[in-house]
Amino acid sequence: MWIYEKSLQHPVKVTRPDVGFAKLVVTQYGGPDGELGASLRYLNQRYSMPTNKAIALLTDIGTEELAHMEMIAALVYKLTEGASPQDYEAAGWGGQYVQHNHGLFWTDANGVPWSAQYIACLGDPIADLTEDMAAEQKARVTYEHLIEMTNDPCVKDMLRFLWQREVVHFQRFGECLNDIQEHMGKKNMWCGCTIKK
């Protein structure tokens, strides 16, 4: 199974608390293109992959996305450290404080709760890997937007690390898609069925 190391994949530091930015970055915790959806998507899709290599890749990336969710959670906690109810209210995030205090909940930047509708699993390796590549691109763009929204160099550093991992995941999924297409072509299998000549 997995071995859990009690350290973050990359350091999470802030120069100062910023509840307003915490309200934005929480979208990568539980928003439509965030780390929760990514981890669940990949760890679920691995069961319908036709090769051990593809299963291993989805397991590895799905597990890494859990580590990224942990980093986002740590960032939100550091950005809200010592914040008062008034600080939350001033940041337009009073509802978060009322419902969860300093606890985290899977929402997007607008407070919309996470939904399983954000992820897909069609059981078709090509469709699912294509979906995964699109998901990584959406996450990459979201990190770019977040980087633009903060002036904190420590936060930018961490977000750039996560941005880079989205790029690497996109590349790995592309390589896997090529392998799967070749595998399915050799077996004359498309759409999960054998194509007769």
DSSP state for residue 113 in the 8-state scheme = B
Rounded-to-integer distance, Cα 171 and Cα 194, Å: 29
**Cβ 114 vs Cβ 30: under 8 Å:** yes
User: Tens digits of per-residue pLDDT, 12-68?
Assistant: 999 999 999 999 999 999 999 999 999 999 999 999 999 999 999 999 999 999 999
- Joined together, the tokens standing for residue 92 give 């337009």
Say whether pLDDT at 1 is over 70. Answer: no
Q: Annotated binding site for Mn(2+), which residues?
A: 35, 65, 68, 136, 169
The DSSP line for 84-109 is -HHHHHHTT-HHHHHHHTT----B-T
Instruction: Please give the pLDDT value at position 6.
Output: 85
Rounded-to-integer distance, Cα 148 and Cα 159, Å: 10
Q: Which residues contact 173 (CB under 8 A, 6 or more apart)?
A: 57, 61, 129, 132, 133, 136
How confident is residue 185, by pLDDT bands cut at 50, 70 and 90? confident
What sign has the CA pseudo-torsion 19, 24, 28, 31? Answer: positive
Q: Annotated binding site, which residues?
A: 35, 60, 65, 68, 136, 169
Q: Which residues contact 28 (CB under 8 A, 6 or more apart)?
A: 34, 35, 68, 72, 139, 142, 143, 146, 162
Q: Record the pTM.
A: 0.91
Rounded-to-integer distance, Cα 109 and Cα 24, Å: 5
Where do the domains of the chain lie, and which CATH numbers do they carry? 19-194 (1.20.1260.10)
User: Tens digits of per-residue pLDDT, 71-129?
Assistant: 999 999 999 999 999 999 999 999 999 999 999 999 999 999 999 999 989 999 999 99
Q: Annotated binding site for Ca(2+), which residues?
A: 60
Instruction: Please give the pLDDT value at position 2.
Output: 65
